Structure formats: structure tokens, C-alpha cells
């Protein structure tokens, strides 16, 4: 399905988007990738949603990406004897391993790993930061804290520990079971929560065994600190601004978002900007002006994708939310300032033949009357490198691999086409010309730039570029073998 924008839209499925008609309507409205949130729904529900997406994909004849978002370890306090207590600034409050019901003075924190890592002056944020505690004294089984910001604390509220790197794996036992389940289903991307270090990514990659690409969610200060190494280990990144906004001062999040997006672009790794993008549309058919501006900012930064969470999963207006994102994206990308910003922020380090080929393809497309850049790719690497260049013309990614086409649904500006496996470069050019006519309405007089790697079937060998007509008769009369 041809989109009239380059940025991709990720829509989360849930109770509000749980049937064939709604999910198809979301795809038709603009959703390129569907997110399955493993924090909600059992395996049978996830399986049904996966099957519906694949049925829509078959019915509509275009690849659709599926991203499974693993829950990650959840840090929560225990329960209170009275259900809740009111903590006041200046109070002393104890966290410990005792499973006895809590009181105004103490409550269980059933995570010994936290106590092992805590240091005096470290902060603990409860209930999305509404309550703030500062450690006064800590031992292996408890911590004595001062209440810095008070409020109502109740059963099983979440705890964030922003100031220390926790000795916790990113994958809980539940995550390991979920990972195996969704990989067997055939999802295209795995979103990994609670990433703190590159070893977390490598562990997930070892378990996935190539069945899905690994996308690291950046939601902790330690992930920011270790970002370059995490990025190198990952296939993609999600800027998960919800937890970042809890664990960091909120004013730090916008510049961090810009820095991460730019680094991902330079490294040719797809990047999603997520969380609260159109939050008010959970209950309202219209977004706020601030939300529209937030979505626009991510697009101006050059993010590969923008994501809806509860808006499409549990909101009253899921299709309207996707339509709003699509409309904002089209308007932003038609703004001449958008092109200026994207091109001014192009900062890729070109160190290989493939880098030079795709840069040349983009320059030819922008200085000549070129209809599209067509990449014949088995692994998707060529198309991703072209997408890094953010060209002004569409990117047609032709691949014999259904898996590659689905993964590329997350990549900026990429139109994915399943094509027969090419044996010679002439065949790739003919397939590219045919795809340009079918997908973009090109005529025989139009020109395309074709890139590929020869010999075919060898990943990472992008080494050839040709300008070709969309008329097959001209191709056969002019193209060498």
C-alpha cells in the first residue's frame, strides 16, 4: 500500500482494536506496523491478533510489520494493611524484604537486587514519580529513606530507581517465555524493555536466534549513559519517553530525544519515538495543539517511525488517532522547512563501498529527474542505508524475502515489494522498472536509480548502481548482462 509520507506509523493493538475490521481499518488509515504489547493479553489473545494481521496482509497484498513488545522486569512495592497510606514530606520510610502487610512506616520491596545496588542519597520514585524517597541508610535486606515528596502510596505501585545501574537482567522469566512464543509465531521485531547495557541486547539476540530483529527501548538513565554501545548491539531503537520522563528531569527528555534520533540516523538503525504522542485522543476525537506539535517535532527530527500506545489499543478513537498522525505527517513532509532540516542534519559516516553507492544514488536522484531509488536487497541492508540518506524521492525495496519486507516496514520512506530472486543484474533492473510502474504509476519515459549487491544473495555487498528507464524494451536493448 503506497503511503504519501515517509515516516512510518506504529499502532498498538488492544481491546479497542481486536477484530479484523478494526485492524484492517487501522492499516488502511495509515498503520504500517502493529505492536503487540506482551504486558497485556495472554498468549491465546496475542496469537489471534497475529493471525488477523497476517490475514489482512494476504488480503491486501502488501507486507505488514509486527513488533512484539516484551514487558521487562516490573519493580513494585508489596501490599498495605489498609490498602494505602499517606506519606508526608520529612517522614522516614523503610523498604524491606518482609512480606508482612505495610504501614505508614514501612512496606515490602521484594527485589533484593535493588538493595544490593542502592547507595546513600540514591532516589526511589514510586507511582511514576508522584512519591520521591531518598536513601539515608541501606543494607542487603532493607533501606531507610527520607520522604522528599509525599503522597498516597498504595498496593503494588511501581518503583523506579534512576540513580544506580541495577543488577537485573532485561529479560524476566515471563519475558523468556513470551520471546520464544512470539518468535515461533513469526513476529518481525522484538522490543526489549529495561535495557541498561549491551549485554542485555546480546542475551535477547541469542534467544531469538535470528527469528526477529532486536529493538532496544531506551527508558533508563543507564541506557542513555551506555547508548552508543547499546545502539551498536541493536537492530533498532525506541525512545520510550514515559519512563525517561519519570527517571530524568522532564526538561532533559526533548534534547535527549533529538540526540538519540540523530545518532540512530547516522548509524542507519530505525528509530521509533513513542509514548503519549496523542494521549488526549484516548477519550477525545481531537488532539491538543501541543500533541500535534509533539508529533510534528519527531517527524522534523527525521525519526523512522512514530507510535501510538493506548490511543489505538484502548482508546475510543483508534482509527481517528492513526488518521491524525497520517495527516500531520503529510503536512509536515510537504513543508520546505522539513527538507531543509533533514538535509542539514545528514551526518552519516561513509566508510564503505555500500555507503558511497547509496550516497551517489541519493545525489543522482536529487540532481536528475528520477522517479525512485530501487534497491534489490536480500537482507534489507541496502534499503536501510538508502533510508539513512533521507532522499527526496521514494525508496522501492525489492526483496525475495517476505521476512525482510516485513522488517523494512519500520524503515523511513521504504515501500516494500516482494520480488522474485534475481540471478543477474538485468533481471533486478527489469523487476525494479515493473515495481515502479505498478507501485508508483511510473511510465516508460520515467527514470529510476537501481542499486544492488553482486553477486546476489550475499549480504552486505552493495556495489552497483545504474540509472535505467521504466520501459522494459529499453532495458533489454541497453542493459548489459
Average pLDDT across the chain, whole number? 93
Clarify whether 423 is annotated catalytic: no
Residue 184 CB partners (closer than 8 Å, separation 6+): 211
Q: What is the pLDDT of residue 101?
A: 96
Q: Is 220 in the active site?
A: no
Angstrom distance (rounded) from CA 270 to CA 406? 13
- 3-class secondary-structure state, position 385: helix
Containing H/E element for 448? Answer: strand 447-453
pLDDT at 460: 66
Q: Which pLDDT belongs to residue 346? A: 83
Please give the DSSP secondary-structure letter assigned to residue 101: P
Around Cβ 352, how many Cβ atoms within 10 Å?
13
41 to each of 2, 151, 279, how far by Cα in Å? 32, 31, 21
State the pLDDT confidence band at 78, using cuts at 50, 70 and 90.
Answer: very high
- Angle at 114 (CA atoms; ends 111, 120), nearest 5 degrees: 140
**Do β-strands 151-154 and 33-37 pair in parallel, antiparallel, or remain unpaired?**
unpaired
Active site residue 275: yes
Handedness of CA 458, 463, 467, 473 (dihedral sign): negative
Q: pLDDT exceeding 70 applies to what percent of the chain? A: 96
Kindly give the interhelix angle for 289-300 and 253-267, rounded to the nearest 10 degrees. Answer: 30
pLDDT category at 271 given cuts 50, 70, 90 is very high
* Distance separating alpha carbons of residues 80 and 142, to the nearest angstrom: 17
DSSP state letter for 71: -
Distances (CA, A) of 15 to 42, 51, 85, 140, 283: 12, 16, 32, 42, 14
28-42, 117-131, 354-368, 448-462: least confident range: 448-462
Mean pLDDT value across residues 49-73: 96
Query: What per-residue confidence (pLDDT) applies to 54?
Result: 98
Residue 472: pLDDT band (50, 70, 90) is: low
Count CB neighbours of 219 within 10 A: 26
> Does pLDDT of 227 surpass 70?
yes
Cell numbers placing 260: 538519540
Counting residues of the chain whose pLDDT is more than 90, the rounded percentage is 81
Asked, as a colleague might, if the bond just before 455 is cis with ω within 30 of 0, I would say yes
Q: What is the pLDDT of residue 405?
A: 96
Write the pLDDT tens digit of every residue in 410-431. 999 999 999 887 778 888 888 8
Whether 113 has a pLDDT exceeding 80, the answer reads yes
Fold equal for 84-160 and 353-478:
no
Residue 363: phi and psi, rounded to 5, are -65, -40
Among residues 275, 371, 377, 451, the one annotated as catalytic is: 275
Q: Give tens-digit pLDDT for 145-203.
A: 999 999 999 999 999 999 999 998 999 999 999 999 999 999 999 999 999 999 999 99
Q: For position 430, what pLDDT does the model report?
A: 87
Q: What is the pLDDT of residue 151?
A: 96
Classify domain 8-72+170-340 at the CATH class level: alpha beta
Backbone angles phi, psi at 178, to 5 degrees: -65, -40
Helices 20-29 & 318-333 angle (0-180, nearest 10) = 10
**121-152 residue pLDDT tens:** 999 999 989 999 999 999 999 999 999 999 99
Residues 38/14, Cβ–Cβ less than 8 Å? no
Task: State the Cα–Cα distance between residues 261 and 60, nearest whole angstrom.
Answer: 32
Reply yes or no on whether the pLDDT at 111 is more than 80: yes
In this structure, are residues 358 and 268 in contact, taking their beta carbons and an 8 Å threshold? no
Query: What CATH fold (topology level) applies to the domain 84-160?
Result: M1 Pyruvate Kinase; Domain 3 (2.40.33)
pLDDT, position 421: 79
Strand, coil or helix: what is 452? Answer: strand
Superfamily of the domain at 353-478 = Pyruvate kinase, C-terminal domain (3.40.1380.20)
pLDDT higher than threshold 80 for residue 456: no
Residue 461's pLDDT is: 72
Q: Which of 106, 205, 217, 390 is catalytic?
A: 217
| Model confidence at 475: pLDDT above 60 | no
Is residue 478 over pLDDT 60?
no
* Per-domain boundaries in the chain: 8-72+170-340, 84-160, 353-478
Catalytic residue among 3, 24, 74, 76: 76
Among this protein's residues, is 35 annotated catalytic?
yes
Which alpha helices (DSSP H) does 301-415 contain, by range? 310-313, 318-333, 336-344, 353-367, 381-388, 402-407
d(CA 268, CA 256): 18
Cα(437)–Cα(440) distance, integer angstroms: 6
267 phi and psi angles, rounded to 5 deg = -90, 0
Residue indicated by cell numbers 554501545: 229
Q: How far apart, in Å, are the Cα atoms of 66 and each of 253, 277, 312?
A: 27, 20, 15
pLDDT tens track for 382-413 = 999 999 999 999 999 999 999 999 999 999 99
Chain segment 326-372, per-residue pLDDT in tens: 999 999 999 999 999 999 988 666 778 888 999 999 999 988 899 99
Catalytic residue, from 5, 8, 35, 362: name it. 35
Q: How many residues does the chain have?
A: 481
pLDDT band of 2, cuts 50, 70, 90: confident
Dump strand ranges (E) for 30-130: 33-37, 65-69, 84-87, 92-96, 106-108, 123-126
Distance, CA of 218 to CA of 240 (rounded, Å): 6
Amino acid at each position: 500500500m503506497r503511503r504519501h509520507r515517509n515516516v512510518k506509523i506504529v499502532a498498538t493493538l488492544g481491546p479497542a482494536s481486536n477484530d479484523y475490521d478494526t485492524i484492517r481499518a487501522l492499516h488502511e488509515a495509515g498503520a504500517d506496523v502493529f505492536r503487540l504489547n506482551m504486558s497485556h493479553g495472554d498468549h491465546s489473545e496475542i496469537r489471534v491478533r497475529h493471525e488477523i494481521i497476517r490475514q489482512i496482509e494476504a488480503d491486501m497484498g502488501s507486507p505488514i510489520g509486527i513488533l512484539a513488545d516484551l514487558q521487562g522486569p516490573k519493580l513494585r512495592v508489596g501490599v498495605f494493611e489498609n490498602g494505602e497510606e499517606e506519606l508526608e514530606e520529612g517522614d522516614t520510610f523503610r523498604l524491606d524484604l518482609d512480606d508482612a502487610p505495610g504501614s505508614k512506616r514501612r512496606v515490602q520491596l521484594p527485589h533484593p537486587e535493588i538493595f544490593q545496588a542502592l547507595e546513600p542519597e540514591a532516589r526511589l520514585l514510586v507511582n511514576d514519580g508522584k512519591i520521591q524517597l531518598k536513601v539515608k541508610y541501606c543494607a542487603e535486606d532493607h533501606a531507610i529513606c527520607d520522604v522528599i515528596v509525599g503522597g498516597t502510596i498504595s498496593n503494588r505501585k511501581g518503583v523506579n530507581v534512576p540513580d544506580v545501574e541495577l543488577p537485573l537482567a532485561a529479560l524476566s522469566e515471563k519475558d523468556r517465555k513470551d520471546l520464544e512464543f512470539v518468535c515461533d509465531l513469526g513476529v518481525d521485531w522484538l522490543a526489549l524493555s529495561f535495557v541498561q547495557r549491551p549485554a542485555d541486547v546480546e542475551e535477547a539476540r541469542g534467544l531469538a536466534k535470528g527469528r526477529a530483529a532486536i529493538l532496544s527501548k531506551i527508558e533508563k538513565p543507564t541506557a542513555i549513559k551506555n547508548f552508543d554501545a547499546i545502539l551498536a548491539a541493536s537492530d533498532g531503537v525506541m525512545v520510550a519517553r514515559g519512563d525517561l520522563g519519570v527517571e530524568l528531569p522532564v526538561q532533559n527528555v526533548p534534547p535527549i530525544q533529538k540526540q538519540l534520533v540523530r545518532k540512530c540516523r547516522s548509524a542507519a538503525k530505525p528509530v521509533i519515538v513513542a509514548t503519549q504522542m496523542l494521549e488526549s485522543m484516548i477519550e477525545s476525537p481531537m488532539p491538543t495543539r501541543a500533541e500535534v506539535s509533539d508529533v510534528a517535532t519527531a517527524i522534523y527530527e527525521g525519526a523512522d517511525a512514530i507510535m501510538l500506545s493506548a490511543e489505538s489499543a484502548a482508546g475510543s478513537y483508534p482509527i481517528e488517532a492513526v488518521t491524525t498522525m497520517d495527516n500531520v505527517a503529510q503536512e509536515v513532509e510537504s513543508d520546505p522547512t522539513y527538507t531543509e532540516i533533514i538535509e542539514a542534519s545528514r551526518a552519516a559516516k561513509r566508510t564503505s563501498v555500500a555507503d558511497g553507492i547509496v550516497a551517489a544514488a541519493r545525489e543522482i536522484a536529487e540532481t536528475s529527474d528520477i522517479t525512485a531509488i530501487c534497491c534489490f536487497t536480500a537482507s534489507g541492508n541496502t534499503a536501510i542505508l538508502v533510508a539513512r540518506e533521507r532522499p527526496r524521492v521514494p525508496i522501492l525495496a525489492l526483496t525475495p524475502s517476505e521476512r525482510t519486507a516485513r522488517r523494512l516496514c519500520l524503515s523511513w520512506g521504504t515501500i516494500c515489494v516482494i520480488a522474485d530472486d534475481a540471478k543477474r543484474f538485468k533481471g533486478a533492473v527489469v523487476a525494479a522498472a515493473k515495481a515502479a510502474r505498478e507501485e508508483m504509476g511510473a511510465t516508460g519515459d520515467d527514470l529510476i536509480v537501481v542499486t544492488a549487491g553482486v553477486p546476489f544473495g550475499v549480504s552486505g555487498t552493495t556495489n552497483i548502481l545504474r540509472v535505467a528507464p521504466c520501459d522494459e524494451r529499453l532495458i533489454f536493448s541497453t542493459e548489459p548482462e
